[in-house]
Structure 1
Amino acid sequence: MTMTDEVREALDQQQTVDITTIGRRSGQPRRIETWRYLAGGRYWLTGSPGSRDWYANLLAHPAFTLHLAGRDLAARARPVTDPQERARVFGEIVPGLSWAGSLESWLEGSPLVEIELD
């Protein structure tokens, strides 16, 4: 499904989303609840600094399911490793999070993927 107005509106309104990834070792589906973020007019998955199984799963198997507004949407994760792009995206996300700590810690240790809908 492409990014229709209806999907964009649901993403704009729903920060907490469920995703299903494929386990990098088990090959089994793994569903978790996480937060999506908006920066630069695009949608992202990230988390506070630290390792995340969902991120490792997406590195191994970028295709995932985004569960949103009663729909299961085929999506793809685009991992962001470029330091300048990370700085730009986290520069928009982190200042709005009162609990986030320093931008530097996020740049050094947080996973970051763009949500691309198939």
Structure 2
Amino acid sequence: MTVTDETRQALERQRTVEITTTGRRSGQPRRIETWRYRACGRYWLTGSPGSRDWYANVLAHSEFTLHLAEVDLQVRGRPVTDPDERALVFDKIVPALDWAGSLESWIAGSPLVEIELG
């Protein structure tokens, strides 16, 4: 997949996104709204600490659809489990969120997936 400048601009503009994952047990499409972040020159999906069905689905089936206002993108999610990489990324994301709570709680308990555009 070639990602155009227009697609990258759309991704930059849209922080709240919808994704469609494949259900880890059902195999059925599951569409939800979540947050997109930019840190370390890359795009990420995450949320406040806690378990998420979308994350479990990405663990089981890494390919998903990222829905933007202008386009739907077939992407791959790379779950980030390495503590050092999680700390690096969350250190860029969490301080900008006045409601987020502690950086440590995000590193320990938030889902983190890099959006690989292809």
- Verify: 1:117 aligned to 2:117, yes or no: yes
TM-score norm. by structure 2 comes to 0.97
* CA distance, structure 1, for counterparts of residue 2 and residue 15 of structure 2: 19
Shift of 1:25: 0.4
Partner of 2:11: 11
Q: Which amino acid in structure 2 is aligned with residue 107 of structure 1?
A: I
Shift of 1:28: 0.1
Partner of 2:58: 58
Partner of 1:22: 22
* CA distance, structure 1, for counterparts of residue 117 and residue 45 of structure 2: 13
Q: Which amino acid in structure 1 is aligned with residue 30 of structure 2?
A: R
Q: Which amino acid in structure 2 is aligned with residue 58 of structure 1?
A: V
4+ residue segments displaced more than 3 Å: none
Shift of 1:89: 0.3
Q: Which amino acid in structure 2 is aligned with residue 59 of structure 1?
A: L
Partner of 1:45: 45
> What's the C-alpha RMSD, in Å, of the aligned pairs?
0.8
Shift of 1:2: 2.8
Q: What 5-or-longer segments of structure 2 have no aligned partner?
A: none
Shift of 1:69: 2.3
On the 8 A contact 2:10/2:70 being kept in 1, the answer is no
